Amino acid sequence: MRARIRWAIYLLVFLSVLIPMLTGISFPVGRISESTQAVFDYIESLPEGSVVAISFDYGPSVIPDVQPIAKALIAHCFKRNLKVMGFALWPTGEPLGRRAFEEVAEKMGKVYGEDYVYFGYRAGYSTVMLQMGEDIRKVFEQDYRKTPTDRIPMMKHIRNYKDIDLLVDLAAGDSVETWIVYAYTKFGQKLAAGVTGVIVSQMYPYIQAGQLVGVIPAMRGGAEYEELIDYSKLLGEPGMAKTGMSIQSIVHLLLMILIAIGNLEFVMMRRRR
Amino acid sequence: MEAISMWVAAILTLCIYSFLYKDNPFYKFAEHLFVGVAMGYSAVLTFRDGFIPYVWKYLKAGIVGERISYAVVDLWRDTAEVFVLRQTEPERLLVILPTIIGLCFFARFIPRISWLVRYPIAFTLGLGTGIALPLGLQMNIYQQMYGTLSPFGMISKLSPFQIFNAVLMLVGVVCTLTYFFFSAEHRGGIRWVSRIGVIFLMIGFGSAFGNTVMGRVSLLIGRMFFLRDWVNEVIREVSAIFG
């Protein structure tokens, strides 16, 4: 009996993903969450030419959660004519960051080295964070194309955290906390984060304490950000998070019904006893 | 090449999802392959982007010198000459110290000298604790306390909803901390306060669980999108072959 119920749940979840995906059901994005709006507003408030750094600290296993955030964030910065520098402290984040930059920059006609730069992966984690506060060139001597940092036009005036207006950590692990310890607490660097659903609850205390400007929470946050920047118009393709969230809503509805049935069954079982 | 990688990824995805039926050799194969590839990729990347530029290059510059080329322009004769020289930088050899400490981690694999591993661990722990302890205290205790109490310093400027939020947060913090307070027996008033703390904890766990479910469903949706694209690709290829 138990095995049958398990299979029935698998089947229901599968169908609740498959049917809306094939039929293309789409729901509008509701009220934008405060934490996502805060990141958007902060970037909107930056003057042209300001520098935004993005750390790609995640891997391929969380692409649906974080990659849409990365692309929407880069597109927003490009739209506002901000300079964007990217790097990865997770080895698996290196190709994902590169791909996000290349895809968005190509569609928005941005020039490598002038509008954005990508340094690739750097080993060292907290050491990298600490050294960036003193001299970025100590940890990023060259970019991922092996061009010395001093020869990259965009990096001419970027020396350390003082020259970075916002650092966004796209994370699937504990890197946000480490950034808060070493970059915010020690150097006062303004921080924001885009994180997976699994760790998003841990982030809210840091927002209310002012340690993070805001947090873009997983696929939901990605969809909200795509809505805020009008992603499909900007890049000429539908936003992955927005499409995924419509399906997500249906699965959530199913799960809520299943939880309610499970609880009802539990109460009835207790009464029978 | 892209088509091959798509096929490989699709087959491995199906291998992983076969676990829903039961543990089987296809799942095991895909799981082991994933772990192996991830480790191999990380090792190569760390070697290429960590060891080569920050150890090897420095050692080389310290021992055999670095090739430096510069041009001298003679404005009077309108000529330029390029000079190349090798400049040794012995101070760069200092990198050998952290390298030796780091290499001691590998002593674990040789039983006779495995005790050497204690030194890099001690070094890492000491350094990490020394740096992180004061900053961690500031981040997790002082700043959080400030975040909890600061709304009361400007209560006259807050809306009724914000005041409610601030009070709720303070009550939540006090009650939850009381639950973890073991120096007094949980009786009478303390018992009630700690019970309220449990309710706050349950709400916190519920929120974390909800977000975790959202994260897992996102991954399923991502894979389903990928499989849909793969199936479309297969249909396109088949229809191209059979006209």
Cβ contacts (< 8 Å) between A141 and chain B: which residues? 53
For residues A206 and A176, the answer to whether their CB atoms sit within 8 Å is yes
pLDDT in the model for residue B68: 61
pLDDT digits (tens, 9 = 90+) for A181-197: 999 999 999 999 999 99
pLDDT band per the 50, 70, 90 thresholds, residue B70: low
pLDDT in the model for residue A127: 87
Residue ranges of A 158-217 with Cβ closer than 8 A to chain B: 177, 180-182, 184-186, 196-198, 200-202, 205, 208-211, 217
Where are the alpha helices (H) located in B138-187, listed in sequence order? 143-153, 160-179
pLDDT digits (tens, 9 = 90+) for A215-260: 999 999 999 999 999 999 999 998 889 989 999 999 999 999 999 9
Check A205 against B225: CB less than 8 A apart. no
- Sequence-distant (≥ 6) Cβ neighbours of residue A111 within 8 angstroms: A105
pLDDT in the model for residue A108: 95
Interface residues of chain B, partner chain A, Cβ below 8 Å? 20, 38, 41-42, 45-46, 49-50, 53, 128, 131-132, 135-136, 138-139, 143-144, 146-148, 169, 204, 207-208, 211-225, 228
Distance CA A86, CA A94 (A): 9
Task: Report how far apart, in Å, the C-alpha atoms of B29 and of each of A124, A158, B12, B14, B22 are.
Answer: 31, 47, 9, 12, 14
Task: Report how far apart, in Å, the C-alpha atoms of A158 and of each of A83, A126, A221, B185 are.
Answer: 10, 20, 29, 57
pLDDT in the model for residue B241: 86
Q: Over its length of 273 residues, how does chain A's per-residue pLDDT go in tens digits? A: 778 888 899 999 999 999 999 888 888 888 899 999 999 999 999 999 999 999 999 998 899 999 999 999 999 999 999 999 999 999 889 999 999 999 999 999 999 999 999 999 988 888 899 999 999 998 898 899 989 998 999 999 999 999 999 999 999 988 999 999 999 999 999 999 999 999 998 999 999 899 999 999 999 999 999 999 999 999 999 888 998 999 999 999 999 999 999 999 999 999 988
Q: E-strand spans in B39-174?
A: 66-74, 79-87
Cα dihedral B201/B204/B206/B209 (nearest 10): -120
Quote the ipTM score.
0.86
Q: How many CB atoms lie within 10 A of CB A150?
A: 10
pLDDT band per the 50, 70, 90 thresholds, residue B35: very high
Check A200 against B45: CB less than 8 A apart. no
Domain boundaries, chain B: 154-243
Distance CA A182, CA A72 (A): 26
pLDDT in the model for residue B136: 86
